[in-house]
Chains A and B, each alone.
Chain A
Amino acid sequence: MNTIVILIIAAAALFLGYGVYARSIDRGIVEPDAKKACPAKMYMDGVDFMPASRNVLFGYQFKSIAALGPITGPIAAVAWGWLPALVWIILGTFFIGWVQDYGAMIMGVRRDGDTLGALSYKLISPRARSILMLFLYFYLLLIMGSFGNLVGKNLMARPVVPFGMIAVTLAGILAGQMTYKWKKDIILTSVVTVVLSFVGIYLSTLPAISSIFTNLYGGAKSPVLFLSVTRAQFIGTLLVLLFCYLGSVLPIWSWAQPVNFVSFFIIALGMLGGVLGMLIWHPSMGDFPAFTTWTIGTGPLWPMLFVTIACGAISGWHSLVSTSGTARQLECETDALPVGGGAMFLEMVLAVISLLTATAAMGGLAGYQEVLKSGAALGVFAEGLARFLEKIGIPKTFGVAYGSVFLTIMGLTIMQLAVRFMRVASAELLGDKVPVMKNVHVGTIVALILTAIFVWVIPWLTIWTAFGGANQLMAGLALLLIALWLKSEGRKNAWALYPSYFMLVTTFAALILLAMNQFKAMGVAKTTEARTAALLVGVIAVVLLAAAAFLIFDGIKALGKKQPAKKTT
């Protein structure tokens, strides 16, 4: 099948899903009222509650939900064949993904801007909030582990990447200085820093520069230092941890924000170039099979595919962003659909493009497997993007370096903020009993040590599956919460309740399977490293399952108790 046909199918799904299904639920069931005052206006405090135009919020919401997830998941999932991955991305978004993002947002608006924590406390049970917090910490730890693995152990271990990455970071710091200290115009700042970033990425491809890192890494074939970690992977991971440390302890205006700002241009231009190249080239799927086999290394298609592709079809994290961030900024209720639903459907398109990058751009299954072997999922994307960029005249060597830096920065910008969050969370959680945890450096270092263990010990695909499981479980719980809220308002809730059941059953099955596989692997593991990895992931899967069981029990009890109330709109 040709890539253009697949893009047309995605566009048709977007039109039908957003224009017909989502709109009919919005108008027929939720009935938003444009004249009703939203929390952003009622409680405007200039900080959290502040009205913004729906177009601005659409950009903000999309940027907040789209990162490495919609790129990495489809690339890993095409191992089952491109068709199951494509079907799940499209149907998952169509029936579940937008429901969660939009539902959480409108629920937040109607419940005075309450966050998911407060809502679970009020709608499910008091202990639901504490369990959600536990979820959140593990979720972030898994993000750090999986992204750290992808970025530190794979991308940064390539000699052409670190210099480009350092150049983008320095450009980001310069952007912060130009804006905050020198009060320069934002357009000038953007142009200077983006050009400098591109020059840095170009320089990183020159043999004189890349050879510095090749020598530092101990030659073309980097020697193993400890466990199965090579010197290149060790140094790459240390660079990532240093970046995250600075992102966590420095003022947000001087590091995290400006680096994110410059990164946006690198990412947006890369995506634009990739799409243009794809449209010009429009390759067919070649010999890439629509369906390979029912069971692959990570497990059977059901339930594992549904946790491998999380973001891009549905992701629990979106419900947190939708309630705590966007719902408090909506000008009117009618903006919830274009912002929440619209951003999710656009993310679906991003996931489809990523899928095409892994399949069509690789020229078939053999190409995909070859690149996957050398550099995990992100290597596939960098290579695929470079091939698309080549069609618009960008040399492949630059394209590969650009694609790798693009993905590295995408991962790092998130990781630095996740460490920041973990530092605050551990200070809140343990600060009273262990006062030293309130120290920003100690909290950060503890989070980074945990990250390093996850990165160096656990194989990438295993940790990615656990991350997907945690994410999808949170999505199931968010949907259950939306169904509870709809019932409390006396509205039909089947459109949220059935997706919630599907997500909970599927994710439960996936986590049980993951835990069983890990405990089984522990028994046959020959090295301490493999045993530790299996034990860690197995225990995390069990903890997540136990936490989810309590939440579901309380949720279903609450669902039985709640009496339909009069509609509030």
Chain B
Amino acid sequence: MRLPSPDLCQRHEEAGNCSVFGEECGWGQTSVVWRDRIARARRVAGEIFYGATVYDWVRGLRRQRGEVEHLFVLITFGDLIGLPVLPPYYTLRLLPYVVPQINRWKRSLLRERDWTDLAELIEGVD
């Protein structure tokens, strides 16, 4: 594989589209491969960093929002699990807004839990 010097190869950054060596421009291909690798490494490092820092906050916020949403569905559609709180008239008015959440709310609410569910909250315990 020929490796042209940058001053000879004007378009070496685009693989296979080099003005001097055409598709055989190895320099350009190598450059693109490395650029991709560096971009991927940066993305991976960024995601790992995010996972070790902010992700936990994001999960905490998600958890808070989820709990409030679940509470709302419980108040409005508690009769689905035998807990009527609101009269059916208001429940029916709210139904279109709550439908997308009902399945996951029921699954989440009725899922059996124990202390081990809380274990993940204590990160880095040992």
Residues of chain A touching chain B, judged by Cβ–Cβ distance below 8 Å, are: 43-48, 50, 52-53, 55-69, 115-118, 129, 132-133, 136, 140, 143, 179, 186, 190, 252-253, 257-258, 260-261, 264-265, 268, 310-311, 315, 317-318, 320-321, 323-326, 410, 413-414, 417-418, 420-421, 424-425, 428, 471
Q: Smallest CB-CB separation from A57: which chain B residue? A: B51
16 A-B Cβ contacts within 8 A?
Answer: A43-B107, A46-B65, A50-B59, A52-B51, A56-B50, A59-B51, A140-B125, A143-B126, A253-B60, A253-B64, A261-B57, A264-B53, A317-B119, A414-B125, A418-B125, A421-B119
A67 to B52, CA, bound (A): 13
Known: A65-B124, A132-B116. 19 other contacts (CB 8 A): A46-B66, A48-B108, A56-B48, A59-B49, A60-B51, A64-B123, A116-B119, A117-B114, A117-B116, A140-B125, A143-B125, A257-B60, A318-B126, A321-B119, A326-B120, A414-B125, A417-B122, A418-B122, A420-B121
The answer on a CB contact under 8 Å between B51 and A260 is no
A79 to B17, CA, bound (A): 64
Interface residues of B in 51-79 (CB under 8 A from A): 51-57, 59-67, 69-70
A117 to B51, CA, bound (A): 26
Supposing A47-B63, A55-B48, A252-B60 touch, asked if A260 and B123 sit within 8 A by C-beta, the answer is yes
- Quick one: which of B54, B61, B108, B116 contacts A45, CB cutoff 8 A? B108
Interface residues of B in 21-73 (CB under 8 A from A): 43-44, 47-57, 59-67, 69-70
The answer on a CB contact under 8 Å between B60 and A58 is no
Say yes or no for B104: interface residue by CB 8 A criterion.
Answer: yes
Q: Which residues of A contact B90 (CB under 8 A)?
A: none
A47 to B66, CA, bound (A): 6
The answer on a CB contact under 8 Å between A317 and B123 is no
Say yes or no for B7: interface residue by CB 8 A criterion.
Answer: no
Supposing A45-B108, A186-B54 touch, asked if A55 and B62 sit within 8 A by C-beta, the answer is no
Supposing A47-B66, A47-B108, A321-B123 touch, asked if A63 and B116 sit within 8 A by C-beta, the answer is no
Q: Smallest CB-CB separation from B108: which chain A residue? A: A45
Q: Smallest CB-CB separation from A67: which chain B residue? A: B124
The answer on a CB contact under 8 Å between B66 and A69 is no
CB distance from B123 to the nearest CB of A (A): 4
The answer on a CB contact under 8 Å between A67 and B55 is no
A129 to B114, CA, bound (A): 9
- Do most interface residues of chain A lie in helix, strand or loop, or is the interface mixed? helix
- Quick one: which of A66, A132, A257, A311 contacts B56, CB cutoff 8 A? A257
A186 to B66, CA, bound (A): 23
The answer on a CB contact under 8 Å between B47 and A53 is yes
Q: Smallest CB-CB separation from B67: which chain A residue? A: A47
Inter-chain CB contacts under 8 Å: number: 164
Q: Smallest CB-CB separation from A129: which chain B residue? A: B114
A65 to B52, CA, bound (A): 11
The answer on a CB contact under 8 Å between B56 and A60 is yes
Say yes or no for B89: interface residue by CB 8 A criterion.
Answer: no
Q: Smallest CB-CB separation from B50: which chain A residue? A: A56
A63 to B120, CA, bound (A): 11
Say yes or no for B99: interface residue by CB 8 A criterion.
Answer: no
Q: Smallest CB-CB separation from B105: which chain A residue? A: A45
The answer on a CB contact under 8 Å between A264 and B52 is yes
Q: Which residues of A contact B117 (CB under 8 A)?
A: 48, 115, 117, 324
The answer on a CB contact under 8 Å between A46 and B104 is yes
- Quick one: which of B51, B56, B115, B116 contacts A58, CB cutoff 8 A? B51
Q: Which residues of A contact B43 (CB under 8 A)?
A: 55
Q: Which residues of B contact A64 (CB under 8 A)?
A: 120, 123-124
Q: Smallest CB-CB separation from A471: which chain B residue? A: B126
The answer on a CB contact under 8 Å between A261 and B53 is yes
Q: Which residues of B contact A43 (CB under 8 A)?
A: 104, 107
Say yes or no for B118: interface residue by CB 8 A criterion.
Answer: yes
A108 to B41, CA, bound (A): 29
The answer on a CB contact under 8 Å between A55 and B51 is yes
The answer on a CB contact under 8 Å between B50 and A59 is yes
A52 to B57, CA, bound (A): 14
Supposing A46-B104, A315-B126 touch, asked if A56 and B114 sit within 8 A by C-beta, the answer is no
Q: Which residues of B contact A265 (CB under 8 A)?
A: 53
Q: Which residues of A contact B62 (CB under 8 A)?
A: 46-47, 50
The answer on a CB contact under 8 Å between B116 and A66 is no
Interface centre among A46, A53, A57, A317 (most CB of B within 10 A): A46
Q: Which residues of A contact B53 (CB under 8 A)?
A: 59, 190, 261, 264-265
CB distance from A383 to the nearest CB of B (A): 23
A46 to B100, CA, bound (A): 13
A68 to B124, CA, bound (A): 8
CB distance from A130 to the nearest CB of B (A): 9
Q: Which residues of A contact B120 (CB under 8 A)?
A: 64, 320-321, 324-326
The answer on a CB contact under 8 Å between B124 and A63 is yes
Supposing A50-B62, A117-B115, A261-B54 touch, asked if A58 and B123 sit within 8 A by C-beta, the answer is no
The answer on a CB contact under 8 Å between B47 and A421 is no
Q: Smallest CB-CB separation from B47: which chain A residue? A: A55
CB distance from A305 to the nearest CB of B (A): 17
The answer on a CB contact under 8 Å between A136 and B116 is yes
A526 to B78, CA, bound (A): 63
Q: Smallest CB-CB separation from B54: which chain A residue? A: A186
CB distance from B68 to the nearest CB of A (A): 11
A43 to B106, CA, bound (A): 11
